[in-house]
Amino acid sequence: MFGHDVHPCFIAALWRRMVTDIFLIACRPIASMRRCLLAILLLPVLGRSQNVSVKESATSIQLDNGMIAVSFNKKNADLNALSLHGVNVLGKGGRAYLLAPDFNMNQSICSIVSKTDSLVDISFLHVASNHFTYDLHYVLKSGDQGLYCYLLESHSAKDSVGNYGQTRWGIRADESVFDYHLVRDSIQGPMPKMAELTHEVQDWTFLMPDSSYYTKYNYADYIEDRYVHGMAGSKGFGLFVINPSHEYLNGGPTKQYQNVHSTPFLINMFNCGHFLSDQRKGDNLIRDDWKKLNGPFFLYIAQGKTIPDLWNKAKGKAQIEQGKWPYTWMNHPEYPLTRGVAKGQLLLNGKPTLVNTRIVLAAPGYDWQAQSRGYIYDAKTKTDGSFQLNAIRPGTYTLYAFGSNQTKEFQQANIQIVAGKQDLGKLNWVPAKQGVTLWQIGQADRKTTSFKLADHKRAYDLMFQPPAQLDYSIGKSKDADWYYAQTKEGSWKIRFNNSKQWNDSACLSIAVAGCARNPQLDVLVNGKTIKTLRMGNDASVYRSAVAGGYYQLKELIFPSSYLVQGNNTIELRMVQCKPGAGIMYDAIKLEAK
């Protein structure tokens, strides 16, 4: 009846259609109850999901659930074919693989960890020369239009110190099949062909024939409130990475991740080094016995008529996967199914914090922005300051909070999480003050939110727009008159009137949303230099960041006698500013006593 090239899923779909027609005919008023009952009983039998099968040879292993078929190279753990209804969506030469500093998965040990009719879990184990062991798993379940992937990383205290660096899973596919980026509703766009990318102006940034720029960094994005990204094309296929939880991703909610770019290349970063300051003090040097389970994430293969249709399907699937977390089918000692919930209320000086103040639950001892070895959880406060963190691994954490127009963060140590719900009660945040606040520019939220160009889409050439010289007058100028970044050698001056005589100290707080290529910033009060700042490089400005990079707070204390009664000027003088360098501002505040 059918040719040999017809995929089993096509036959199954046809059978389901035939049975549906039978059902509709049988259930007409003239049909007997017996015929109708027979049709109803036939539906689940013929519509049942196909079992997951495994085929293995000396060099490869294949998994198939009747809908998805996937093939792996047993030696290097490459996923080298991924088919939906018999069509290999990766195309010629496409593959998915794991890559980290100084290693790849070549010379892996492949094994079947679990095999039932409904689920197969396979492992690729690799002991690398960088002092880590990588155990990469793929899981195919019956009825799923995609597959799961998770990674267990481990280090032994008996081994040399390991530097836990950037670790990514990526999938390269055919540019004739995938030619459109999809990151979130506001971050989408077509992919140029690789043949068009000939005039490179910096890493993965190209001047196009129409004088526009294409860069993969235009499709980087914050992970906050985002659980799916992918690529699609006019042939009706979409490939999407769905992270149902952010617990295993480094850097917390303000971390920006690389996602997808021309080639085409779809990425899931387990540990992402992009937009981290080279001056950070992180927890990346691993000396002890350590294990971390990244994932599982879901690689979803969508089929649809249009790109918006594919994107909507992916977002819907992401919501479904979020609702399943933690996955009950996971059976691994590093993946506890019994989790905790922490709720509480955060007050600011006895009153509810502003809505959407960010709560972060992470390890103690390190800036949570620089944490990568453990697990991080976050939530936002409601209008009454209440919050709830879900599906937390049992353990001891520190609770951090930022926002509510505060340049500093709140910390509450020794938060014990056990199975079940724990009420943390009311937490009162009393920010330390350096005196009376004379003025503030910007809304302190760790981003450039209220400044000029801050609402612009990510763009390489945006950094050329801010002026070298700027005059800002307190009481007359608005936040929108201050630019998102200072990117040229020159002076930005803040002019203000002071009516009081101060006889102690003053503090200029510069909340830095990001700093690129380590420019020198001289800070002067009425012509007197109070500090020279060099704040390192997080690559934010020249890699299309608009909202920020790695947050830093600089509190500059100086004698309040530097302030005079009458007109005053604070000068931010940029010197030694390389091309692509710059400072992105969150807020600037002056206090005195």
Q: Quick one: pLDDT at residue 213?
A: 98
CA–CA separation, 445 vs 295, rounded Å? 29
Residues 404 and 345 in one domain: yes
The last residue of one of the domains, among 379, 402, 429, is: 429
Provide mean pLDDT across the span 482-495: 99
215 Cβ neighbours under 8 A, 6+ residues apart: 204, 205, 206, 460, 543, 544
Question: What percentage of the chain carries pLDDT values higher than 70?
Answer: 92
Same domain, 189 and 268: yes
Q: How confident is the model at residue 48 (pLDDT cuts 50, 70, 90)?
A: low
From CA 283, how far away is CA 286, in angstroms rounded? 7
% the chain with pLDDT above 90: 90
Mean predicted confidence (pLDDT) in 535-540 = 98
251 and 282 together in one domain: yes
Residue tagged 């049942």 (tokens):
48
Judge whether 317 lies within some domain.
yes
Taking only the tens place, the pLDDT of each residue in 339-368 is 999 999 999 999 999 999 999 999 999 999
Which tokens belong to 407?
A: 């340049």
What span, in angstroms and rounded, lies between the C-alpha atoms of 352 and 589? 22
pLDDT tier at 10, thresholds 50, 70, 90: very low
* Res. 425: pLDDT tops 80: yes
591, 494 Cβ separation under 8 angstroms: no
Answer yes or no: do 185 and 64 share one domain: yes
Which tens digit of pLDDT belongs to each residue from 259-288? 999 999 999 999 999 999 999 999 999 999
Domain boundary among 375, 401, 429: 429
CATH of the domain at 307: 2.70.98.10
The rounded mean pLDDT for the chain is 93
Per-residue tokens: 47: 């519509």
For residue 394, is it within any domain?
A: yes
Are 551 and 471 part of one and the same domain? yes
DSSP string computed for 265-324 = EEEEEEE--TT--TT---S-EE-S-EEEEEEEEEEEEEE-SSHHHHHHHHHHHHHHHHHH
Do 82 and 219 have their domain in common? yes
pLDDT at 30 > cutoff 60: no
| Position 36 pLDDT exceeds 70 | no
Assigned domain for 152 exists: yes
What CATH number does the domain containing 515 carry? 2.60.120.260
The pTM of this model reads 0.91
Q: Is the pLDDT assigned to residue 6 strictly greater than 90? A: no
Indicate whether 28 pLDDT > 50. no
- What CATH number has the domain bearing residue 398? 2.60.40.10
CA within 13 Å, CB half, 99: 9
| Domain membership flag for residue 126 | yes
Same domain, 408 and 521: no
What per-residue confidence (pLDDT) applies to 37? Answer: 45
Residue 507's pLDDT is 99
The pLDDT of 572-584, averaged and rounded, is 97
> Residues 328-338: pLDDT tens digits?
999 999 999 99
Distance CA(163)–CA(389), nearest Å, equals: 30
Please tell me whether residues 267 and 139 are part of one structural domain. Answer: yes
pLDDT at 101: 76
Q: pLDDT digits over 50-92, tens only?
A: 999 999 999 999 999 999 999 999 999 999 999 999 999 998 8
Q: Are residues 154 and 280 in the same domain?
A: yes
As a whole number of angstroms, the distance between CA 250 and CA 268 comes to 12
pLDDT greater at residue 101 or residue 301: 301
Domain count, the chain: 4
**Is residue 357 included in any domain, yes or no?**
yes
Which of these three, 429, 452, 484, is where a domain ends? 429
In a domain, 373, yes or no: yes
Residue in the structure block whose two tokens are 């390991």: 162
How does 23-32 read in b/e, with b if 16+ C-beta sit within 10 Å?
A: beebeeeeee
Instruction: With respect to residue 335, please indicate whether it lies within any of the assigned structural domains.
Output: no
Residues 38 and 132 in one domain: no
**Mean pLDDT calculated for residue range 500-510:** 97
The Cα 400–Cα 416 span in angstroms is 14
Residue among 254, 206, 234, 243 at smallest CA distance from 403: 254
Query: Is 424 within the bounds of a domain?
Result: yes
First to last CA, the chain: 90
Question: Can you give the residue range of the structural domain that contains 482?
Answer: 436-592
Taking the C-alpha atoms of residue 519 and residue 515, their distance in angstroms, rounded to an integer, is 8
pLDDT on residue 504: 97
Question: 223 and 346 share a domain?
Answer: no
Q: Same domain, yes or no, for 260 and 126? A: yes
